[in-house]
Structure 1
Amino acid sequence: QDEILTDLAKIADLKVISRTSVMKYKSDLERNLREIAKTLGVSHVVEGSVQRAGERVRVNVQLVDARNDTHIWAEHYDRDVADVFAVQTEIAQQIADQLKANLSPAEKAAIAERPTSDLVAYAYYTKAKEIDIYGNWESAENEKAANQKVELLEKATQRDPNFALAYCALAKAQLDVENFELAKKAADTALRLRPDLAEPHLALARYYWLATDSIISLDREAYYARARDELAIVRRMSPNNAEALLIDATVGRHQNRWDASLANLQKASELDPRNGEVAYRLEQIYFEMRRYSELEQFITKQAASGGPRVGALEDPFNWLARMKLAQGDPVAAQSLLEQLPVEYSPGERTWDARYKTALYLRDYDAANRVIAATPANFADEDWAYGEVARARGDKQKAQSAFAAARKKVDTTRGDKPQDADYFAQISGLDAGLGRKEEAISEARRAVEIEPIAKDAVNGPTIVADLALVYAWTGERDRALEQLEIVATLPGYGPTYGDFRFNPCWDDLRGDPRFNKIVAAAKAASR
C-alpha cells in the first residue's frame, strides 16, 4: 500500500493523502468510507489486501467513490512474488486512469520503475518503514525501535548497494538517532545513485534543516539556503510531497517568509491531515505569528476529530494555556493546565507554561514549587530561582542563584562554540549579578551573531534579551528602544501577556513609552 501511495503521489494531477494519515485506518474492521473521506478531505478511497503464500502473492484492490459508496473499479491479482513491483505499477496506473488523471511521460516512467531488483533488500526496506517511532516517542522502547530501523536499512543497502530509496530512508533513520554524519553520507550516496529522483533531494533537505538545530558550529543561513535549493527540486519532481512543504515552511520561518510558510503548512495539512509533526508546526506558526484565533480553531478541530496531537506531548491544554498567557489571561491559563490528565507526562513547554503562569500571577511560592518539580533536563532551575527571588525583592538570594547558574554555564559549556544563545544566557546572569559592562557587551555580541535579519524566529528573542539586560542595569531608554523593535514581530519574542504580567519588566513599568509598547503588542495579537 505504501508504495502504491508513493507512486500515486508522483502524479501532479492527483491529491494523495500521505501514509501517516491513512495508516490509522489499516486495522479498522468496520470502516465508514464516507467518514474517512470527509476526515481526510478526499472524494475517493483505495482499499486492498495482500496475502503471500509461498512464492505467490495475492492482491485484492478496489477504488471507491466515498461520496456515494460506489465501486468504480476492482481487481484481483495472483502473481509470482518476483512480479510484485509490476503489480504495484499496474494498480497505480489503473487508479490514475479511472480517476482520469493526466500523466506526463516522466510520471509514467517514474511509476513504472522498480526500486530494486533484490527482493530480500526490499523486504528489509519495507519492514523498516513499518516501524513507527513517532506514535509514542516518549516510550522507553523508542530508542530501541529507532536503532532497529537503522539496522534493517543498513542490511537493505548491503544487499543492494544501488538501492537509492533505501539510502534515503537510512538517511532519515540516522537523523532520528542523531547520527548526522552518517545521515549526510547516506543522503549523498542516494543522490549519487539517483539524482533524477525526488527522494534523495528530500533526504538532503531534511539533513540541512535538522542539522542546524543540533550542530552549533554550522552556518545556519547557508544550510537553510541549501535546504531550499534541494526542496525546489523536490517540488518540481513531487509537487504533492507533504514533507517537502513542511520542511520549506519550517526553514522559511527563520528566513522571514512567514505568510508563505503558513500557506505551505496549511497545504501540507491538507495532504497529510493526521500527521502529528505537521499539526505541531501549524500550531507553532499560528502562535509565533500571534494568530491566536486561528490557533484555537485549529486545536478545537483537531480535538473534535481525534487529531494527532491529542494525548501527545504538545497537547491542546498546553497550547491553549500558552496562548492564554500570550493574550494576557494567566487565570485562564492556570485553569487549562489544571485540566491536564493525571497520567499525562508533561514536556518542557508544559513546565514552562506552569512556571510562567505562577510568575504572571505573582504567586512566587507556586513558582518555586514548579521549579522544584521540573525535571532537571528541562530547565535551568538556578536562573528561575534567581528570577523569582529578584521579583520578590530578595537581592541576596537572587544573586546567589544567578552566581550558581553562571558557574554551571561555565562548567557545562566547556569547549563548545560560543554562539548567540550562550552570550544571551550569560548576559542575563551577569546583569542579575550587577556586572553591567560585561552583561551589555555579551548581550550585544549575541545580537551581532544572530540578528533578526539572519534568523527571524530566534532573533527577536535575542533582541529582547538585550532589552532585559538594559532594563536590569538601569539603561531604561536603551531597553525601550530594543523593545519597540520586537513588540509586534512574529517569532519567539515577547508577547502582550509577557509585557503585561512578567515581573522581569517591572523596571520599565510606569513609563508612557512602555505602555505604548504593551498596547502595540496587544494590537498585534489576532
Structure 2
Amino acid sequence: MSFFEELKRRNVIRVGIAYGVAAWFILQLSDVVLENISAPDWVMQTIMLVLVIGLPVVILFAWAFEMTPEGIKKEKDVDRSQSITSVTGRKLDRMIIGILTVTVAYLLIDKLVLQDSPPAPTETVQSAPVETEAPVDTGPSVAVLPFINMSGDKDNEYFSDGLTETLLHMLAQLPELRVAARTSSFAFKGKDAGISEISETLGVAHVLEGSVQKSGNRVHITAQLIRANDGFHVWSQNYDRNLDDIFAIQDEIAKDVAGALDTSLLGSSDKAMHAVNTSNLTAYESYLRGLEQQAIFSYSSLEVAENHFKQALAQDPAFIDARLALVRNYL
C-alpha cells in the first residue's frame, strides 16, 4: 500500500481538512466577537498561533491513533480486520460538510444581508456651519533641515550634516523653543518638499535651511529662516570664515535664529546654549564623521563610527560629546 493510500485509510487527510475548515470558522467567529468587545490585538494573534501549532499535532495524532468501539488506541495495536476507519471517515465527511454549510451560510448572510441592507433614512437637519478652532499658539517652533553640501565633494557630506545636528542641539537647549527632532528633520533630506508640507508634517511654524561650502581652510555657510504660513524669509545671513572659526559661526547662527524667532529667547542665551564641548577642530571633524557613520546604523558603519569617536577622544580626551556618542554606539 502506498503512503498516500495509507494516509487515506487512516483518515489523516480528512482530519487535516476538517481541522482547517474548523480553524477558519473559529477565526472568523473570533474576529467578530473580539472586535465587538474591543479585545487587544494579542488575543487574536494568540488564537491564530494556537491553531497553527495545533495542525501538525492533530495530523500526527490522526496518523498514530485510531478511533475504535473501545475508545482511542494506537494504530499498531488495532487489528486491521476489526478496524472501523471507514466508519470514522464517513463521520468526518459529515462533520466537514456540516461545518462548510454553516460557513457558507455565514458568508452569504454577511455579504448579502448585513452589508447590502440600506441605511435607515435620516432627516436632514440644517445647522449653522461649525467654525474650526484657530490653532493654539504654543510659542515659537522650528525645524532645522539638513544643510545642503555645496562643496562638490560627497565626502564633505559629514560636515554639513554635522553642522545641522550641532545647530539643532543648540537650539533645543532653549526651553521655550520647540525644535523638531533630528530624525524627523533628516527624513526630508534630499526630498523636494515645500516649506508648507514640511511645517505641516513636523508641526512647526518656522523652517531653518541652508547650505555649506567647504574648500581647504575656508567655509562658506548660508542660513535662512523661513516662516511657514506665508513662505517669507524672517532672517538670512551668509558666513564666510576660516574653518578654525566654525565654533564661533555655530554660536552666531544659533543666536541669530533664536533672536529672529523671538528676542525674549535670548535673555540668557550665552549661558543656555552651547555647542560641542571641544575647541579642537581635528577632534570635531572626527566626531562629525563618526556621527555620519552612526546614522547609517549598519554593522560595518558602526565599526567605522567607533574608530572616528576614538580618534576624536585621542585628540581631545575631555570631549564629552564624543565619549557619549561612543557609548551610544555600543547600545
* TM-score (normalised: structure 2): 0.48
Which protein has greater RCO, CA pairs closer than 8 Å, 6+ apart?
Answer: 2
Query: Which protein is richer in strand relative to its size?
Result: 2
Name the structure with the higher helix share: 1
